[in-house]
Amino acid sequence: MMLDFLRYGTAVGLILLNAMVLATRATEEGIFTNHLLVQLHEGEHEKAHQLAKEHGYHSARKLPFGEGLFHFYPLETPQKRSKRSLRNRQRLEKDHRVKNVMVQEGFGRQKRGYRSISEIDIKMTDPLFSKQWYLINTGQADGTPGLDLNVAEAWELGYTGKGITIGIMDDGIDYLHPDLASNYNAEASYDFSSNDPYPYPRYTDDWFNSHGTRCAGEVSAAANNDICGVGVAYNSKVAGIRMLDQPFMTDIIEASSISHMPQVIDIYSASWGPTDDGKTVDGPRELTLQAMADGVNKGRGGKGSIYVWASGDGGSYDDCNCDGYASSMWTISINSAINDGRTALYDESCSSTLASTFSNGRKRNPEAGVATTDLYGNCTLRHSGTSAAAPEAAGVFALALEANPDLTWRDMQHLSVLTSKRNQLHDEVHQWRRNGVGLEFNHLFGYGVLDAGGMVKMAKEWKTVPERFHCVAGSLQEVHKIQSGENLLLTISTDSCQGKDNFVRYLEHVQAVVTVNGSRRGDLIVNMTSPMGTKSILLSRRPRDDDAKVGFDKWPFMTTHTWGEDPRGTWVLEVGFQGGKPQRGVLKEWTLMLHGTQSAPYIDQIVRDYQSKLAMSKKEELEEELDEAVERSLKSLLSKN
């Protein structure tokens, strides 16, 4: 057993080394960037920054490797960039404080497994295809080339969603639409708003009920038919579940929708949830909860229904951990990035977000929106919001399911963690960080943007992850006072149920079930740090929430950031207030729930790309298993003697 590990470990190490040597090969011709290397007569950082500002640059960074050397960063104004930047540079060169200015030449650093856009050879006759930057981003609408779902690679491998049905839980689908009709699954569709099998949208003068049709097109619009654009999984079937268009929502409608034909519908896409007003804390009720649990336990022949959830449009004023649907372990909650890698202004952040796809936001250019089908046979370029992001993810998952129909709901989450890419996503507020096992994550984007090509390749050879266990790691029930200015710190030390049947060694989801209230709920903040040092922001400030009574009652805050970590050790919960006025509060409960596997989930997986997250995680697991095996045998040796 031990020998086996050893041999395996060395082999992996050798191959890794090889791969690294190969990968250092740089490529490509020079392009001139707007980044400048500037040498000044004086080396003061403050002055350099001032100078940069004066000349139309964003900032200056002092370079440690030379006297008076600074890196001048350009302002992010993509339009008319070249002319203005030339002028700026010429002015800068003449400035008396400046000794020398050098334009930085850009050179290619090819990422492995990454292909340039010109290599993609996909021809579609659909008129809007070239506007679908989220499928293939060539820089349309001032976007960042290459920042897309990488569907081209999946398509070229032959995966287009054949045999997979995606249910769109929304306001109906225009299933007569010529771009959708052939991919419409009538048998799996239903209208819960008017209780019949035909979820055709209700007409209003403002065409308000176009949302489901738009979402359906993103997933399943037919290809090469000269109509509108192309769906992410253009040979998949789409089912309409009309459930958002009645005088009020009921628990029965929600529960019925998410459990509609779970043996036929593979993936459910949802763009609804608690009101994004920044002051609501709400989640699924009894029937819906039961239906969700049933879905993951029994749907798709026991492999589990895939629930894709939009993380919400509440922007920085809201936190999707207050949305019990998005923060559920059974849903894959998806956030969005815009076509240049920034966050959309409506993006809601939370630690339960697993990955991201694309939508519009903050850009004036109408073509920066999401191109898809629209009501009554029309097309649109301007589908928007985080709810445009969820169907894209549903489409990518359909491609993965076609590549490997045996994937369970948990496999899909593992694949999302392992194949999502940081790409060129940037977040002004939250840094990208690595968790205890080296997986890179961001509070807003989760593990990054979905990569369809990477996902189908890994899905194809994926071996279903080991059984999942649930461990209550500890529960504090004493009453603790909290007040502004001093954060309450609590700790739970846990062995993660080691020695019991439900020992959790490799984490998937972690929940902190918290009962807390305060004089202003919106000013409460909650952070949790894992034994391996990963800090999750479980709740950030919600300035609009002035609740002073209800607080959070056994609310399960969920984090995906500690994925893969060893949960044994000390967990720290930090609770406090943020905001102008002094607040007081009481914490009554913190229960730590760990969910994950006993055996290493990646150890048996086949590694093709030795720089992938999978390769890294597998190596990590091999090392840890080896360590533990050595420790065990030492112990047994000692006890024998």
Q: Indicate the Cα dihedral angle 267, 268, 274, 276, nearest 10°.
A: 70
Nearest distance, CB of residue 328 and other proteins, angstroms: 5
165 binds other proteins (CB under 8 A): no
Active-site entry in 126, 148, 170, 451: 170
- Residue 193 as a binder of other proteins (CB under 8 A): the answer is yes
Shortest reach from residue 179's CB to other proteins, in Å: 11
Task: Choose between 250 and 483: whose C-beta lies nearer to other proteins.
Answer: 250
Neighbours of 338 (CB within 10 A): 25
Does 218 contact other proteins by CB under 8 A?
A: no
Q: Which of residues 470-489 bind other proteins (CB under 8 A)?
A: 470-472, 477
Q: Is 107 in the site for other proteins (CB under 8 A)?
A: no
Please report, as residue ranges, which positions from 287 to 306 form the binding site for other proteins (by CB under 8 A).
287, 289-290, 292-293, 296-297
Considering the complex, what minimum distance in angstroms separates the CB of residue 186 from other proteins? 4
Inter-residue contact 594 to 569 (CB < 8 Å): no
Q: Is 406 in the site for other proteins (CB under 8 A)?
A: no
Q: CB of 341: closest distance to other proteins in angstroms?
A: 15
φ/ψ of 460, rounded to 5, equals -55, -45
What are the helix (H) ranges across 363-494? 389-403, 409-419, 452-460
Task: Considering only residues 65 through 84, tell me which ones interact with other proteins, judged by CB under 8 A.
Answer: none
**Shortest separation between residue 225's beta carbon and other proteins, angstroms:** 14
Which residue type is seen at 269? S
Nearest distance in Å: CB 453, other proteins: 29
Which distant-in-sequence residues (6+ apart) come within 8 Å of 453 by Cβ?
A: 150, 151, 152, 153, 154, 157
Q: Does 188 bind other proteins (CB under 8 A)?
A: no
Per CB under 8 A, contacts with other proteins among 325-354 are 328-330, 344-346
Secondary structure letter of residue 615 according to DSSP: H
Residue 246 makes contact with other proteins by CB under 8 A: yes
From candidates 10, 90, 104, 182, binder to other proteins by CB under 8 A: 182
Residue among 222, 244, 444, 455 that touches other proteins (CB under 8 A) = 244
Task: By CB under 8 A, name the one of 595, 613, 618, 619 that touches other proteins.
Answer: 595
> Which residues inside 536-555 make contact with other proteins, applying CB under 8 A?
544, 550, 553-555
Complex with other proteins: residue 188 or 401, whichever CB lies closer: 188
Out of 217, 229, 324, 436, point to the residue binding other proteins (CB under 8 A): 324
Residue 129 or 184: the one with the smaller Cβ distance to other proteins is 184
Q: What is the token pair recorded at 382?
A: 């301007």
Q: How far is the CB of 534 from other proteins (least distance, A)?
A: 21
User: Using the rule CB under 8 A, which residue among 194, 263, 633, 636 binds other proteins?
Assistant: 194
**Backbone dihedral angles phi then psi of residue 59, each to the nearest 5 degrees:** -165, 170
**209 near other proteins, rule: CB under 8 A:** yes
| Binding residue for other proteins, selected from 207, 226, 599, 634, defined by CB under 8 A | 207
By CB under 8 A, is residue 241 in contact with other proteins?
no
Question: How far is residue 94 from each of residues 21, 532, 583, measured CA to CA in Å?
Answer: 44, 52, 55
| Contact in structure between 183 and 239 (CB atoms under 8 Å) | no
- Rg (Cα) of the chain, in Å, rounded? 26
Binding flag, residue 15, other proteins (CB under 8 A): no
CA dist 140 to 148, 258, 369, Å?
Answer: 11, 36, 11
307 binds other proteins (CB under 8 A): no
Nearer to other proteins, 175 or 602 (CB): 175
Kindly determine how many residues on this chain lie close enough to bind other proteins according to the rule CB under 8 A: 117
Work out how close the CB of 285 gets to other proteins at its nearest, in angstroms, rounded to a whole number.
6
Closest Cα to residue 192, out of 238, 240, 243?
A: 243
CB atoms closer than 10 angstroms to residue 39: 16
One of 49, 55, 177, 211 is an active-site residue; which one? 211
Q: How far apart are the first and last CA of the chain?
A: 22
Helix axes 251-258, 286-298, angle to 10 degrees: 10
Does 225 contact other proteins by CB under 8 A? no
Could you give the CA distance from residue 121 to residue 494 in angstroms, rounded to a whole number?
Answer: 53
Residues between 270 and 289 with contacts to other proteins, criterion CB under 8 A:
270-278, 280, 282-287, 289
- Considering the rule CB under 8 A, would residue 384 count as an interface residue with other proteins? yes
Cβ(556)–Cβ(475) below 8 Å:
no
Q: Which is nearer to other proteins, 231 or 312 (CB)?
A: 312
Exactly one of 69, 219, 233, 253 binds other proteins (CB under 8 A); that residue is 253
Catalytic residue among 271, 311, 336, 387: 387
The residue count for the chain = 641
With CB under 8 A as the contact rule, which of the stretches 10-18, 82-90, 154-162, 164-172 interacts with other proteins? 164-172
Q: Is 211 a catalytic residue?
A: yes
| 319 contacts other proteins (rule: CB under 8 A) | no
* Pairing label, strands 190-191, 237-242: parallel
Which DSSP state fits 369?
Answer: S
In this complex, which beta carbon is closest to other proteins, that of residue 33 or of residue 194?
Answer: 194
Q: Which is nearer to other proteins, 313 or 451 (CB)?
A: 313
Pairing of strands 27-40, 57-62: unpaired
| Number of neighbours of residue 179 by Cβ within 10 angstroms | 30
Answer whether 122's CB lies under 8 Å from 156's CB.
Answer: yes
248 near other proteins (CB under 8 A): yes
Q: Which residues contact 186 (CB under 8 A, 6 or more apart)?
A: 175, 197
- In the shown chain, the binding pattern of residues 486 to 525 toward other proteins, with x for contact by CB under 8 A and - for none, equals -----------x--xxx--------x--------------
Cβ closest to other proteins, residue 171 vs residue 621: 171
Residue 267 backbone zone (phi > 0: left; psi -120 to 50: alpha; other: beta): beta
Please return the burial class of 97, using the count of CB atoms within 10 Å of its CB with bins 0-12, 13-18 and 19+.
Answer: middle
User: Can you tell me whether residue 16 is helix, strand or coil?
Assistant: helix
The verdict on whether 305 is a catalytic residue reads no
Among 43, 315, 533, 579, binds other proteins (CB under 8 A): 315
- State the Cα–Cα distance between residues 189 and 64, nearest whole angstrom: 63
What residues from 354 to 383 belong to the interface with other proteins (CB under 8 A)? 361-364, 366, 369, 374-380, 382
Neighbouring-strand partners of residue 512: 557, 592
Q: By CB under 8 A, which span of 91-99, 110-118, 159-167, 171-179 interacts with other proteins? A: 171-179
Separation between Cα atoms, residue 575 and residue 528, nearest integer Å: 9
122 phi and psi angles, rounded to 5 deg: -120, 120
Report in angstroms the alpha-carbon separations of 403 from 115, 164, 604.
Answer: 21, 10, 19
- Smallest gap, in angstroms, from Cβ of residue 449 to other proteins? 19
Position 30 contacts other proteins (CB under 8 A): no
Residues annotated as part of the active site: 170, 211, 387
